[in-house]
Amino acid sequence: MKVLVRAAAAVVVAFTLTVVGLVAMVLFDDDAEAVEVSGGDGAGGLKGVPEEFRTWILKAAEECEQPELTPALLAAQLYQESRFQTRARSHVGALGAAQFMPGTWATWGRDSDGNGEASPWDAGDAVMAQGRMMCSLIKQAKSSGYGGDARSLALAGYNAGWGAVEKYRGIPPYAETQNYVKIILSTMKRFEGPDRLRIEGSGSGPDALRKAAGRLGTPYAYGGGGPQGPSRGFCSGGGGYRGGTCVADDTVGFDCSSLVQYAYWPDLKLPRTAAAQYGATSDRAVSRRKLKPGDLLFWSHGGSGAIYHVAMYAGDGNVLHAPRTGKTVELAPLTTAMPDADYYGATRP
């Protein structure tokens, strides 16, 4: 990830408050150069965030029962705090992408990514802690009886401490805090993608679809991806090229079959290619009118030996798939995801 921030555009703000161990932040002018991120068209309710943050932002928003805590709000807040820099550090001791002070981290930090350490330097740990804290603050804001938007009050509490919000019965009259709230709410739009896919039911199909939906917006990388997630692709034959230039070897993402393999792994260890996945599941064929979420759909140039694409049925006549070089994992109508004349059939893993 490459981040360019002009020193003159940063104003470091520290508060001396009666509440100990709050988050600190760096305020950035709105015209500061944006972070350069991989990713595409912003499907999945989120766009414009680095891949290492995407899944965690979506997860943090999903786990909060307060609907005001959207992925775009969390992303805008992270962008304002650190420009998505996992090693960010302020002069007052705030650490990581979510800029937690040590005292606050002791309350909210957990080992969310399962690497054996709860660390504000880890993207997953930081984002999930940010989500838990913001979720709690929004809940407090909604029950406080104070005037104003619950999101604004929560952001003010994250920045200045909830004690300051209680003292002034609203957003504190600190210019820095008021600017913090204003900037984040005004920049949320840049991170808002289409509505997230809502998946009902349980079982291997819906569960696999939920897992794959967490990767909406991930770049297509020919030959890339696998059971553990996205990875760098490669160019071979006619695959991985765009405009005559090999782009796969510089792209971290999934191709169509690796996304499916990732979605079902480890409960069902499907083979790597679309043709092999059809061969492994063809004894459980499903008619087009009886499709269920998580079913696999295949397209072919002629026969089972020429299958070239696989997608997952997402309900309501849509599929979730990694379509081709230059695109991202997306939700698309079954009738237009690939040439309809090439549709070969569907199976239920």
pLDDT of residue 209 exceeding 60: yes
pLDDT tens-digit readout, 314-338: 998 889 999 999 999 998 889 889 9
Nearest to 300 by CA among 248, 259, 339: 339
Q: Could you say which of 170, 191, 212 is where a domain stops? A: 191
In sequence order, which residues have a C-beta less than 8 Å from that of residue 175 and are 6 or more positions away?
A: none
pLDDT of residue 20 exceeding 70: no
pLDDT of residue 104 exceeding 90: yes
42 in a structural domain? yes
198 in a structural domain? no
pLDDT at 126: 98
**Is residue 269 classed exposed, middle or buried when 0-12, 13-18 and 19+ CB atoms within 10 A define those classes?**
exposed
The residue type at 136:
S
Task: Evaluate whether 216 touches 51 at the Cβ level (below 8 Å).
Answer: no
Does 94 share its domain with 142?
Answer: yes
User: If DSSP codes are grouped into helix, strand and coil, which group holds residue 318?
Assistant: strand
pLDDT tens-digit readout, 147-186: 889 999 999 999 999 999 999 999 999 999 999 999 999 9
In sequence order, which residues have a C-beta less than 8 Å from that of residue 51 and are 6 or more positions away?
A: 37, 38, 39, 218, 230, 252
Split into its structural domains, the chain has a count of 2
Nearest to 236 by CA among 247, 220, 227: 247
Angle at 231 between CA 222 and CA 197, to 5 degrees: 85
Does 267 share its domain with 147?
Answer: no
Work out whether the CA dihedral 270, 225, 217, 114 comes out positive or negative: positive
| pLDDT-based confidence at residue 62 (cuts at 50, 70, 90) | confident
Q: Could you say which of 191, 222, 250 is where a domain stops? A: 191
Q: What are the CA-CA distances from residue 147 to residues 32, 168, 174, 277 (Å)?
A: 32, 11, 17, 56
Does 101 share its domain with 158?
Answer: yes
Q: How far apart are CA 107 and CA 337, in angstroms?
A: 46
In sequence order, which residues have a C-beta less than 8 Å from that of residue 173 and are 6 or more positions away?
A: none
Does 215 share its domain with 131?
Answer: no
227 in a structural domain? yes
Q: Does residue 62 carry a catalytic annotation?
A: no
Does 48 share its domain with 180?
Answer: yes
For residue 331, what is the domain's CATH number? 3.90.1720.10
User: If DSSP codes are grouped into helix, strand and coil, which group holds residue 306?
Assistant: helix
Does 34 share its domain with 158?
Answer: yes
Does 171 share its domain with 244?
Answer: no
Does 186 share its domain with 213?
Answer: no
2 in a structural domain? no
Does 160 share its domain with 239?
Answer: no
95 in a structural domain? yes
Task: Evaluate whether 69 touches 131 at the Cβ level (below 8 Å).
Answer: yes
Does 28 share its domain with 106?
Answer: yes
| pLDDT-based confidence at residue 67 (cuts at 50, 70, 90) | confident
- Residue 247 tokens read as 């782009």
196 in a structural domain? no
For residue 124, what is the domain's CATH number? 1.10.530.10
Place of tokens 């996205």: 230
The β-bridge partners of 174 are none
pLDDT of residue 112 exceeding 90: yes
Does 52 share its domain with 164?
Answer: yes
Whether residue 266 has a cis bond before it, omega within 30° of 0: yes
Entry field: residues in the chain: 349
139 in a structural domain? yes
Domain that holds residue 121: 7-191
Q: How far apart are CA 67 and CA 91, in angstroms?
A: 34
Exactly one of 52, 63, 65, 81 is catalytic; which is it?
81
Q: Count helices and strands (H / E) in the chain.
A: 11, 12
Q: How far apart are CA 321 and CA 344, in angstroms?
A: 16
Q: Could you say which of 191, 220, 238 is where a domain stops? A: 191
Does 71 share its domain with 179?
Answer: yes
Q: How far apart are CA 18 and CA 248, in angstroms?
A: 53
